[in-house]
Each structure stands twice: as C-alpha cells, then as structure tokens.
Amino acid sequence: MPTPDSGATKLWGGRFSGATDPLMEAFNESIHFDRRMYAADIRGSRAYARALHKQGILTADEQQALDRGLAEVLAEWEAGKFKLRPGDEDIHTANERRLGELVGAVAGKLHTGRSRNDQVATDMRLWLRDEVQRLAAFLRELVAVLTTRAEADIDVLMPGYTHLQRAQPIRWSHLLLSYAFWFQQDAQRLDQFVPRVSQLPLGSGALAGNPFQVDREWLARELGFASVTPNSLYGTSDRDFVAEFLFHASMTMIHISRLAEDLIIYSSAEFGFVQLADAYSTGSSLMPQKKNPDSLELLRGKCGRVFGGMSGFMMTYKGLPSTYNKDMQEDKEPMFNAVDTLSGSLQIAAAVVATLKINPDKMRASLTSDMLATDLAEYLVRKGVPFRQTHHISGAAVKMAEDRGCQISDLSVADLQTLHASFGDDVKQIFNFETSVDNRSSIGGTSRATVEAQIALLRKWLA
C-alpha cells in the first residue's frame, strides 16, 4: 500500500518512484492561492460528472454519489472546515482527495477523460467571469456617485487647467463627469470582455480532446458559458483572457489614479478646493496639523501594482510553446491580485467622492479675468475678425494689463480700441465667468445645458 506522502497518491504519481524534494514540493504547490477557486472547481466537477453519466461512463448511482460528495466538500469549504493535507498541491488535488475520502473509489471515475489542463482553464474562466460582473457593478456605482455629485454641484465654477496652469473657467460638475465617462468606458469594456472569457475549455482533455464524446455544448449550457473553445490545443493553452483582463484592470486603475491625483492637488492648502472626509484621511505621527489624503495616495499607488502584474504576466506568457506549461501557474496570482485591488479601489473611490466636501468660494476666488482672454479673442471673431488676428490682439491686451499691474477686465474700452477698432462698449459683457461657461454650449461643453445633457446620458446608461 502506498503511504499518504508517496508519489502514487498524487494525480500524476504513477510514473515516479523517487520522493520529491520538499523544497520542490513547496515550489510546485499553488494551493495557498488557488484555493479561492474552490467553488468554481466543484461546480465544474459536478457538471462534468453529469456529462459522464449522459455518456454512460457513470451509472446514475455513481453520478449521484459524486454529486452528494462534491456538495459536502463545498459545504466544508464554505463553513471554513475543509482540512488541507500534505500532497494537496492545488485546489483540484485537494477537492478530489477529499471527495475520495467521502465517497470512496468511485471518486476515481470523475477524472475520466479530463485533465487538470482543461480543468484549471475552466475554473479560472468560471471564477473570473463572476468577478468581472461584480467589478462592472462597482464601476456603475462609481459612475452613479460621480453623476449624482455633478448634478448636485452643477452651479459651482472652478478653473480648468492645462499643463497644471489655469486655462479657462469650467463647471466643477464638468470635471466630475469627465471621470464618469472614463469609468463608463471601463464598464463597457468589461461587458464586451464577458463573451471572450465565457468560452468553455472543459472537454479539451490534456491537449488532444476528449475520447468519450462528452457533450461540450451541453456542458457549456450547464455552466452558463456562451460558447465552447473550438480547438483543444487553444482551449488548454489560452490565457489571453487573463492578459486582457489585466489590461482592463490596469486601464481602470489608471483612471482611478488620475482622479486621485486631481483630488490630491485640489485638497492641498495651496488650492483648498476640496476636503476629504476624516474617514478617508490620516494624520501625521509628528505634525498635529496635518490631514493627509492617504486614501487617494493609496489609490494612486496601487495602480502600479496592477500594471506591474500585467507586465510581469505578459513576459511569462510571451515565450510559451503550445498547450499547457507549468509557467502558467504564474497566471493566477496577478489575476487574483488585480481583482482584489480593483474591487477595493473602486469602492474606496466611490466613497471618497460621495463624502468629499468642496469649497465653492475658494474655487470661485481662483478664477481670474486673464482666463477670459480666449473669450476676448472670440468677441472679435464675432465681429468678423479672423481668429489668428484676434489671438494676437487678445495677447496684446493681456500684456497691456500685466504692464499696468491690473486685470484685463480693468482695461477701458478706449484702451482696447488702441488694439483694434472693433472693440465696443459691449466688450465688458464678456468679463463674466457664467457667460464664459455657458457660451461653451456645443455637445460636450461646460455650459449648464450641455452638462445637464451629459448627466442625462449617464442616467440613461445607468438605467
């Protein structure tokens, strides 16, 4: 009789007579991280047992015994009572070993025609498909928070920036909605990704296919997959779905990081536009006056973690020969980490935005009339002067105001007429920030009407 630690008890042990180096045992095992796929693994096994019964490989009694045993294994995991044993190198080995303890020798029939190669690919796709739908829901919640905030703060004006220099007046809502549309696209990308992750590899065997004519399309329906992988070599070796998900996660984290960066800048004393809730800030161990935006800094920092996981996996993936190679064990940790990091980040970002206090007076005080220099040029355009000329004329007005140590709005009509005869008394009407923002009334602009239209678009999508 083989001992519990001998090679004969391993799924692959029959070929080997020597013991495995304990260091190699630890190096090879993945149970400490892939155990989180326990439910997906059991779900796939229960469906596969039913498929084997359909083909006459299992009797009805055998299939029902396996199903009851697998249900008991699942219950142990969910109750926190599952006991790992030496030799449980991965979740598939652990579940099959425990199934054998519960139902006896019939457990050995479950793996008929199935390999861990198509089993693990199925588990990963099942697990990730469910997680992607959860992440898409978190993205929609973040879009909803940004949209609600934009609607509530629609009358608040602030400087818009290019090169981090004050450029033109905009609505605070307009800035919030820019991020809402980024996150909407992130959610749409995840939705479009679902059919590609929802391809069933089960029934591909180790690489060459299943010799027992298992009905793969029936299996796909049972497990909620949209289709089956059309080629068994592709089915066992494809990890494009991991790479694509890591890209989507990285892109979303980049958007979260950019939002965090804007809010970090605007929360500084030099700006003072926003203030984070205490729940999302920390203090200094030395300086009592400090209120640090640690939540935002962590959001910004965790972007690097997710992107690093993607780039590392791509370097592993790029040089693999066809079908399964053990390098593919490196696909799970970056996938798990990206799901966890993105999940937490989306929820924290939504909470930060929802609880953020703004200082409309400080935002308004940061608007200066030189930010209306473009409006001055556009005034002359409406008088028939070519824009290339009006740009230079407006620039000359800015310089005149700088030389006099005043704002361009302080220049008299007579002063402006020295630059161009088309200036009239109505020029003074342009030195108004509300007028400036409401003139930007083409689709996508910062006028009240166009911002309301953006909110309506997002509300429709959310509904």
The whole-number pLDDT of residue 6 equals 38
CB 228, CB 203: distance < 8 Å: yes
Task: List the beta bridge partners of residue 227.
Answer: 199
Instruction: Please give the distance of CA 315 from its chain centroid, rounded to a whole number.
Output: 21
Nearest CA-CA partner of 264 in 223, 240, 293: 293
9 pLDDT tier (thresholds 50, 70, 90): low
Q: What does the radius of gyration of the chain's CA atoms come to, in whole angstroms? A: 31
Classify residue 286 by its DSSP letter.
S
Task: Parse the chain into domains and list their residue ranges.
Answer: 7-112, 117-365, 369-462
Q: For residue 285, name the pLDDT band (cuts at 50, 70, 90).
A: low
Encoded tokens for 152 = 């509530």
Q: pTM surpassing 0.85?
A: yes
- Answer whether residue 16 shows pLDDT above 90: no
pLDDT tens column, 88-106 = 999 999 999 999 999 999 9
Using the structure block, give the residue that is written with the tokens 């066809």: 322
Report the phi/psi class of residue 412: left, alpha or beta, with left for phi > 0 and alpha for psi in -120 to 50.
Answer: beta
Q: What is the pLDDT of residue 29?
A: 84
What does the pLDDT look like over 191-215, one tens digit per residue?
999 999 999 999 999 999 999 999 9
Of 79, 77, 80, 96, the C-alpha closest to 88 is: 96
Choose which CATH entry (3.20.20.80, 2.40.170.20, 1.20.200.10, 3.40.50.300) describes domain 117-365.
1.20.200.10
In the prediction, which pLDDT does 299 show? 97
Q: Are 150 and 176 in contact (CB under 8 A)?
A: yes
Q: Are strands 274-275 and 227-228 parallel, antiparallel or unpaired?
A: unpaired
Tokens of 62: 């055998």
CB atoms within 10 A of CB 223: 20
CATH code given to domain 7-112: 1.10.275.10
**Residues with catalytic annotation?**
163, 284
pLDDT tens-digit series, residues 109-141:
999 999 999 999 999 999 999 999 999 999 999
The pair of structure tokens assigned to 175 is: 């800035």
> Rounded CA gap, 144 and 386, in Å?
43
Q: DSSP assignment of 303-356, as one string?
A: HHHHHHHHHHHHHHHTT--SS--GGGGGGHHHHHHHHHHHHHHHHHHHHHHHH-
In the CATH scheme, what is the homologous superfamily, with its name and number, of domain 369-462? Fumarase/aspartase (C-terminal domain) (1.10.40.30)
In DSSP terms, which residues pair with 170 in a beta bridge? 158
